[in-house]
Amino acid sequence: MRIIRTVAELRAALAPERLAQRSIGLVPTMGALHAGHRSLIERARSEHDVVVVSLFVNPTQFGAGEDLAAYPRDEAADAALAEQAGADVLFAPPLEQVYPDGFATTVHVAGLSEPLEGAQRPGHFDGVATVVTKLLNMAAPDAAYFGQKDAQQALVIRRLVRDLDIPVRIVVCPTVREPDGLALSSRNAYLAPAERERAVALRRALDAVEAAVAAGARDAAIVAGAGRRAMEPYDVEPEYLALVAADTLAPVDHVEGEVLVALAARVGPARLIDNTILNANANGRP
């Protein structure tokens, strides 16, 4: 596996592959790689001749007072995991390669960027959309891979790719979980043992929501209430637990068709998110 630092070097490395009509898969990451990232890399490996993993902690998607400085960084460990999972290239650019002096452009995806995470973290998705647009232009992959845990992010990226006519296929892969159901996240590293036990509240809330719909509940307030009650024994209060249309993120009053249940909560120093998709026509999860 090659470690590449500059955009020019990345394009030079991929040009002959593209000329030979070899397909390229991109897995964008902020490092602190775990089994969830591994699953994305392995999926890309199974579908492409060349796999590029980007490693860049993007400052523009962190708000004031967020954990940019504390965000876990271990390039050696990340490189080892990426190589083991099948990456051919680790693209780990310094800040000035991504945001050179005088950089003044922002990509904003209206509508999908404002609710849920966007309301809690103003400007977050502008940072995400901008850096992903740049990474797609830098690597020009055939497909790029993201996790379902970040469901709103995936919707934002799909929309920007469509609206800006970027010729790439966006692949959203299932959330990878711990045995007790906690979604894997780089921020899980912040959790002390007691906090780790409480963090399972997010999965328990989603379990309760799914069970309520499977039992016939359709009123969104009732379904959300079941999720909130499931979190109470863990002393975890959600920042939001919302039922929204899975394609537009518009709030829903009634569970019909595909509905995204999006959830965020702070456990100790970690802010965690999770989600599930309900399908009432399938009697619960699709």
Please give the positions annotated as active site.
Answer: 37
Nearest to 108 by CA among 132, 125, 131, 133: 125
Strands 89-91 and 50-55, sheet pairing: parallel
Of 281, 146, 152, 284, nearest in space to 206 by CA: 284
CA dihedral 226, 231, 235, 237 (to 10 degrees): -80
Burial group, residue 91, by CB count within 10 angstroms (0-12, 13-18, 19+): buried
271 three-state secondary structure: strand
Instruction: Confirm if 244 and 250 have CB atoms less than 8 A apart.
Output: yes
* DSSP helix/strand/coil, 115: coil
Structure tokens at 214: 């499977």
Phi, psi of 120 (to 5 degrees): -80, -30
